[in-house]
Amino acid sequence: MKKDSQKKKNEFEKDMEDLQDWLDNQYNPGHYVGTGRVPRPIGRLTKYPLLLIIFGLLYFAPVIIVLVSSKFTCSSLISSIIPVLISIGFIIGGIQKYSRMRNRKKSEK
């Protein structure tokens, strides 16, 4: 039991070190930061579709606040397009991943 928890802890610490190295050197030309793949902690986010949906809603919240505020202008609408698209992507991805996980669990039964 302790061996599994220690293995997971070591794996988590390695993930965090890899992520920190990537963050520190992602724009440093010539520094090897990995294979060019998405860092594992970020890639593992898709295992938790509820987090994707929550991040999407949190990313969408400031847009709603700006659009509802009395300072609504055309420029604020235009500047909100990219955050809206990103949040929609997170939400749709989370819903799709959740439905796939749910279907997989049903087929296993």
Asked if 83 contacts 63 with a C-beta cutoff of 8 angstroms, the reply is yes
Residue 94's CB: how many other CB atoms inside 10 A? 22
Q: CB pairs under 8 A, 24+ apart, for 78-83?
A: 83/59
Per-block average pLDDT, block size 10, for the chain (109 residues)? 64 80 78 64 73 87 79 75 88 90 80
* pLDDT recorded at residue 95: 92
* pLDDT recorded at residue 32: 66
* pLDDT recorded at residue 102: 85
* pLDDT recorded at residue 92: 92
CA dihedral 16, 22, 38, 27 (to 10 degrees): 160
| pTM of model > 0.75 | no
